[in-house]
Structure 1
Amino acid sequence: MTPPTTFLATIPSPPQGVWEIGPIPIRAYALLVIAGIFVAARWGQKRLSARGGAPGTVVDVAVYAVPFGIVGGRLYHVITDYHLYFGAGKDPVRALYIWEGGLGIWGAIALGAVGAWIGCRRKGLPLPVFADAVAPGIAVAHAIARIGNYFNQELYGSHTTLPWGLEIYQRVNANGEVDALNGVSNGIPLPDSPVHPVFLYELLWLLGVAALVVYLDRKLNLGHGRAFALYVAGYTLGRTWIELMRTDPATLVFGVRVNVWVSILVFAGGLAYFVWGRRKGSREVLEKTDEPATPTGNVV
């Protein structure tokens, strides 16, 4: 008789998200954010070179955009989740602890765009051209960063019996005290475990958005910021229903999570710009650089 095959009933969480090397904590979340930025920069440069951009331009612009984006992302998170840092029994100084996670994508994009505008002006590059080039890479970078939420055991939903349910375990520090962020799993599941892996739903949606941007960019020869607008509209369409699945505390507006309202508004703006931008014609043509660019039709 053939023994029965055993299938994985749930997705286990990593035992920890932080590793100590001497006095230095190595955080999976931070490493994955850095990896995402690297992927976005490399892919963005490839796409920009295909449009006639000079080699090294994306890195030069990123020197301004990335720090602005990190600050903007943290500000958005602190403002929309102020209850985590302010009020009775809270420590406002923890609002500065960016290494503990908590970056709001729309704050990162808004202030990152300011940094990108500064960098583009210094390079003599139109901001919409840069935005179109890096759009799918930003989506993939965001997806990579979501793996950091997996290591942090965050961004999950309610209890589920589905086979891809995520097991969430209690984590404790060296003193045996509960420490969800810096501790190590003791193997005891939390009461609602397993739960919907909301971070995974968003990760997969982001990869789909990146693929959609690449496909329509090739098919429609998008320009003037329309590829970036497509990324914005596509992401927020998914973020609206994904946000509704989350169970972590959040600021509510009319009984609905604030990020749901923001996603709806940004979706409307992104879609409107994508449609309106058609009147500007096909993709911009940049002046040729000293190095030959890859033919536009061959770039992803």
Structure 2
Amino acid sequence: MSIDAYGIHLGPLYFRFYGIILMTGALAAAYLAQWMLNQKGKDRDLAWDALIWGLLFGVAGARVYHVLTPSVSSGVTTAYYLTHPLNIIDFSQGGLGIPGAVIGGVLGLWVFARRRKIDLSLLLDVAAPGLALAQAIGRWGNFVNQELYGPPTSLPWGIYIRPENRLSGFEDFTRFHPLFLYESLWNLVNAVFLFWLWRRHGDRLRQGDLFLVYLITYPVGRFLLEFIRLDFVPAFG
């Protein structure tokens, strides 16, 4: 066994820290959803059954979103993927988009709810705080990959970016704003807020309202942080 900056080599297998962190976030979300279902007197095992569908569709949606809107640092374009279709399913170099993951995950939960004949809005509500928590955890995968950083900075919390991971035009700078951290903190605050809202005012909310609140709060933070993102993501690049 050996460990490098990006993962763990275990014989012929290679486990990337990025994937491990994402799975940790998904499991944390499922545990929280399980607890919330139990508090509502529902079958808590629904959380784990739904997780499988949410992950499968979520990963597919995240990949499709990346293919349609690849970041500059990925070094590829949508046209490249269209001419090299097999690379669409090659995850070795990363390439996942959170908006696509959310859309795909919701679609997966819809399929699961239809099969189990349960209310989709129930699943979405118990998923909302956990989804924000999973995003807060998952953003640390960007730290491991040395991506999703902001402009150069001399502030004490600036992070060192290795030369090979610096964007073109910023090769002479060493420390950058930890944009991944800012978004992680925003998501953590969002998770706490959504959980508080559910605990304190859940009896006043209609089923599905909590997820709608998530669809407002998360994009607000993401929109504001995009203004300091160096790794521009073009639409249908």
Q: TM-score by structure 2 length?
A: 0.86
Are the equivalent residues in 2 in contact too, given 1:61–1:119 (CA < 8 A)? yes
Displacement after TM superposition at 1:86 (Å): 4.5
Match of 1:31 in 2: 20
Q: Aligned partners of 2:146, 2:184: CA distance in 1, in Å? A: 15
Match of 1:107 in 2: 100
SS of equivalent residue, structure 1 residue 212: helix
Matched, 1:239 2:222: yes
Q: TM-score by structure 1 length?
A: 0.69
Q: Which runs of 5+ in 1 are unaligned?
A: 1-14, 172-179, 181-188, 259-300
Displacement after TM superposition at 1:166 (Å): 0.8
Q: Which runs of 5+ in 2 are unaligned?
A: none
Are the equivalent residues in 1 in contact too, given 2:22–2:138 (CA < 8 A)? yes
Are the equivalent residues in 2 in contact too, given 1:168–1:190 (CA < 8 A)? no
SS of equivalent residue, structure 2 residue 228: coil
Displacement after TM superposition at 1:85 (Å): 3.9
Match of 1:146 in 2: 139
Matched, 1:209 2:182: no
SS of equivalent residue, structure 1 residue 26: strand
Give the structure with higher Rg (CA): 1
Q: CA RMSD in A?
A: 2.5
Q: Aligned partners of 1:119, 1:91: CA distance in 2, in Å? A: 32
Are the equivalent residues in 2 in contact too, given 1:169–1:190 (CA < 8 A)? no
Are the equivalent residues in 2 in contact too, given 1:62–1:119 (CA < 8 A)? no
Match of 1:43 in 2: 32
Q: Aligned partners of 2:8, 2:49: CA distance in 1, in Å? A: 32
SS of equivalent residue, structure 2 residue 43: coil
Deviations 1:174-203 (A, max 9, x none): xxxxxx5xxxxxxxx952220010000000
Match of 2:76 in 1: 84
Match of 2:206 in 1: 223
SS of equivalent residue, structure 1 residue 244: helix
Match of 1:163 in 2: 156
Displacement after TM superposition at 1:121 (Å): 2.2
SS of equivalent residue, structure 2 residue 15: strand
Displacement after TM superposition at 1:74 (Å): 0.7
